[in-house]
Amino acid sequence: MNKRELFQYVRSASPVTLEGARECPDCVEVRVDAKDLLSFMRFLKTNDVLAFDLISDVTAVDHYTSRKPRFDVVYHIFSLKNSQRIRVKVAVDEGESVVSVTSVWRGAEWLEREVYDMFGIWFDDHPDMRRILMPEDYKYFPLRKDFPLEGIED
Amino acid sequence: MVVTINGRQFEVEQGQTILDVARANDIYIPTLCYLEKVSPIGSCGLCVVEVEGQSEPVQACSTYVEDGMVIITDSPSLFETRRKVLERILERHPLDCPVCDKAGECRLQDLVYEFGLEGRIADHRVGIPRLQEPPVTYSTPGIKYYPSRCVLCQRCVHVCMEHVGRGVLVVNEEGDKARIEPLYADNCISCGECLAVCPVGALTENVSPLKARPWQKKVVRTVCPYCGVGCVLELNVARNKVVKVTVDDTIPPNYGTLCVKGRFGFEFINSEERLKKPLLRKNGEFQEVSWEEALDFVADKLSSIKNEAGSDAIAGLASAKCTNEDNYVFQKFMRAVIGTNNVDHCARL
Amino acid sequence: MTVPLEKVGEEMILNMGPQHPATHGVLRLVLQLEGEVVKRVVPMIGYLHRGIEKLCEERTYIQNLVLTDRLDYTAAMSNNLSYALAVERLCGIEVPERAQVIRVIMAELSRIAAHLLWIGTYALDIGAITPFFYCFREREKVLDMFEMISGQRITPSYICIGGVRKDITPEFLEALKSFTDTFETYILDYEALLTKNPIWLSRTRDVAVLSREEAINWGTTGPVLRASGVQFDFRKATPYCGYENYEFEIPYGTNGDCYDRYRVRMEELRQSNRIIKQAMANLPDGPILADVPYVVMPDKSDVLTDIEALIKHFKIASGAFQIPKGEVYSSIENPKGELGFYIVSDGSSRPYRMRIKSSCFVNLSTLPVMIEGRHMVADVVAAVGSIDIVLGEVDR
């Protein structure tokens, strides 16, 4: 199944309404609402045609003041069967939380911990929500745009 | 009047040049010598455009519009003409970019990059002998002049003559040896206008020992502290020190013009000689004391002088570098507390 | 630092690392032991966190290339390749053919170098000292070849945006030919020492088994995934750099234990050698840098004598070029797994967000699954080594 077919199939067969869907040069990109996230992810994994079973990456982008809601949590999931990748984006505001996808792919566990560590986005139902790279008692979230490159001395 | 530029029609008025019309309507014509605050110079030849009915391309900066003109601003032959102009300038330009102060904000660099000039088969005789020629004397010690880098746009000559009105600079000699010379150096008031308008690194600032590239600098807009006009200037700050003063041409009250104090007078900000603590002369030497001790001493002495010799034995001198509020409090102090009218201000002198 | 473990009864909490000869870097493992059996293991990382993703936001794309060398520092050419491919995808730059073949040669050489280092140090962890010297003897030859073309052994920064930096010399091709001709015999040497060795078998067979479903669910990639029975390689599934033109096999295991991971990597050495031979035989002539003037720097000899080249070099180096707005995720098959770059560009000369997906990070998260409740302390060493982590990539 090539990228165009995948794009059309996802659009037509999705159980939730997609806030945005487009075909980027490298993969298919889909935007969903935070409340539909878990059901959409389950659909991606369990659907026989799509079979998105390998979680590639979970990360976030900080739009700072240029957009509200501030963050975008971005998931990249790969399908071993079709050799295709899909990008799923969810908009999250500061102080809000996102449901964790570790119940769908366990591999997201450490990846989501890193997103929390670097951006401060909390994931509900995560088995082990702690900081991973920075020290446990670190007060700031380094990859946010208002954190200076030199760090904050305390 | 109506003219057509690149197929689009525009309403124009008598007295506008083609370049004025293009700039007002967001049509890009590359320029090097054009300066908005003086009359068109026309020395670079980059702004050539094709006008229907004329056999040769004309300079957009100095050609006035007429009713019904049809103008093309971009075509392959125009591109070639502009390239040749740039190549002619570059043939005598030294390989100074790594050591030139202006690199990174240089108009010549931007133009070369925009035109995508590729390296020619290197003519070794041209580039290397003009490397690192030392600066020559100029009309003011605040500016260094590197004649080898000059592209002879003559912006400095025109600005000094028309805008400032001092007429210090002229173009001397012809052809390959043409130079800008400060022939009437006695007229120079060190206002730094020539420095501000130079598009390349021929005129560079000589006051700050620290230099920085454009991406290392932060630009802070502020008001000059020296006198009551309150010119707006931009401090270029790198590593917590002021390295240069630039101006934005569009901001009142000075619209990009400064005097010598605004342009070069920033050394006091980071000077080593600034006082950080009160000093009191004890045993013939200045010693650091606390604010309480210093204020007590001043109050005691002023009171004793007032009692012995009367209020008018004391005079006060304020400074333009203080704020209005500070100056108000100062003259209030002199008049109400000390009781004298002997208060003056440095700007009146 | 507090640890989410609580002692129960007679259990012992043992700390391994961060300074430990067998953790392959600054990795801290906290083990909860009942006797010698490991009940829980908690890996704690972040000791080598340098903030590369944050640094990349403040530097131009060309400057960031140098930072990518330092991720998986045992196979630096692959990291350069992954980053260059991501940026080229974003800008739409086409790399000339000769550069593509050279890139394949370099990527496979770095795969060989990384696997050789892994075999040597893994055997050393288990207790066999001799393979270390044998493997590093060949790795020296590879590093010498890297030095020949880029001047550096470990952090070459040779593969750049638009192609490769300098063309390969006849001396390099000679050295490469003598290397590939004799490499098969050396692989037989390593196998003779380890593959049927009873001590090796008893230390690695059925140790740290990761089943097929678990491997896919945990998002592992690379030899860890292949050893668990998934015949998958990004070079075949999403080919890049002309890999579809080369003939090679993808080795995979059935058991998912440490021994299978060792066998997979050994076989990959052979396949890499095969690819290099094919690449050398089909090396086309032509330019080595794409003809994109706004990203690719002019030749240094021109820069020193020609004013236009000097200006262009200055402008490119100081970040005057603009990359089109957009985002891209591009990944390749690194020796350790999938190294992916997710670049968000806002149209300026610096990335807005540069995300580095590292396979070692995800692979390391499977360690508790492999070990807990089943194995003893000595097996922890075998398991950690078999995942093949490089802390530079885990912590970034």
- What domains sit in chain A, N to C, each tagged with a CATH number? 3-95 (3.30.460.80)
Q: Residues C16-70: pLDDT tens digits?
A: 878 888 777 888 888 888 888 888 888 889 888 998 999 999 888 888 999 998 9
Domain map of chain C by residue range? 62-296+328-395
More confident: C314 or C1: C314
* Tokens (6 digits) for C236: 């075949």
Quick check: pTM over 0.90?
Answer: no
Rounded to the nearest integer, the mean pLDDT of chain C is: 88
Q: Residues A20-59: pLDDT tens digits?
A: 888 888 888 999 988 888 999 998 888 888 889 899 999 9
| Strand ranges in C190-325 using DSSP code E only, listed in sequence order | none
* Residues of chain B contacting C293 with CB distance shorter than 8 Å: 116, 118
Quote the pLDDT of residue B119. 55
CATH of domain B94-99+124-206: 3.30.70.20
Burial of C235 (0-12, 13-18, 19+ CB in 10 A): buried
Tell me the nearest-neighbour CA distance from C306 into chain A, angstroms. 37
- List all residues of chain C from 234 to 273 with a beta carbon under 8 Å from chain A: 237-238
* pLDDT bracket for residue A68 (50, 70, 90): confident
Does the beta carbon of B76 lie under 8 angstroms from any beta carbon of chain C?
A: no
C-alpha–C-alpha distance, residues B289 and B286, integer Å? 9
Quote the pLDDT of residue C110. 93
Share of chain C above pLDDT 70, in %: 99
Quote the pLDDT of residue B127. 45
* Residues of chain A contacting C89 with CB distance shorter than 8 Å: 25-26
Q: Is A27 helix (H, G, I), strand (E, B) or coil?
A: coil
CATH, domain C62-296+328-395, list 1.10.645.10, 1.10.10.10, 2.20.25.10, 1.20.200.10? 1.10.645.10
* Residues of chain C contacting A24 with CB distance shorter than 8 Å: 326-328
Q: Residues B229-244: pLDDT tens digits?
A: 788 988 888 888 888 8
Query: If you average pLDDT over residues B126-146, what whole number do you get?
Result: 70
C-alpha–C-alpha distance, residues B259 and C30, integer Å? 69
Tell me: pLDDT of B121 over 60. Answer: no
Interface confidence, given as ipTM, is 0.93
Residue type, C394: V
Residue owning tokens 């001590």: C199
Q: Return the CATH architecture of domain B208-274.
A: Single Sheet (2.20)
Q: Do C342 and A111 touch (CB under 8 A)?
A: no
Was domain B2-87 assigned CATH 2.60.40.10?
no
Of C305, C306, C314, the CB nearest to B109: C314
Query: If you average pLDDT over residues B147-161, what whole number do you get?
Result: 86
Indicate the range of B266-270, C99-103, C172-176 predicted with least confidence. B266-270
* pLDDT bracket for residue B181 (50, 70, 90): confident
Does the beta carbon of A138 lie under 8 angstroms from any beta carbon of chain C?
A: no
Tell me: pLDDT of B176 over 80. Answer: no
Does the beta carbon of B71 lie under 8 angstroms from any beta carbon of chain C?
A: no
C-alpha–C-alpha distance, residues C27 and C42, integer Å? 11
Name the pairing type of β-strands B343-345 and B316-318.
parallel
* pLDDT bracket for residue B217 (50, 70, 90): confident
Of A62, A83, A106, the CB nearest to C217: A106
Domain map of chain B by residue range? 2-87, 94-99+124-206, 208-274, 310-348
Report the 3 state secondary structure along chain B.
Answer: CEEEECCEEEECCCCCEHHHHHHHCCCCCCCCCCCCCCCCCCCCCCCEEEECCCCCCEECCCCECCCCCEEECCCHHHHHHHHHHHHHHHHCCCCCCCCCCCCCCCHHHHHHHHHCCCCCCCCHHHHHHHCCCCCECCCCCCEEECHHHCCCCCHHHHHHHHHHCCCCCEEECCHHHCEEECCCHHHCCCCCHHHHHCCCCCEEECCCCCCCCHHHCEEEEEECCCCCCCCEEEEEEECCEEEEEECCCCCCCCCCCCCHHHHHCCCCCCCCCCCCCCEEEECCEEEECCHHHHHHHHHHHHHHHHHHHCHHHCCEEECCCCCHHHHHHHHHHHHHHHCCCCEEEHHHC
Residue type, B295: L
Query: If you average pLDDT over residues C268-278, what whole number do you get?
Result: 93
Quote the pLDDT of residue C335. 92
- Residue of B100, B108, B110, B113 best to disrupt the C interface, most CBs of C under 10 A: B113
Tell me the nearest-neighbour CA distance from C100 into chain A, angstroms. 19
* pLDDT bracket for residue B225 (50, 70, 90): confident
Q: Is C60 helix (H, G, I), strand (E, B) or coil?
A: coil
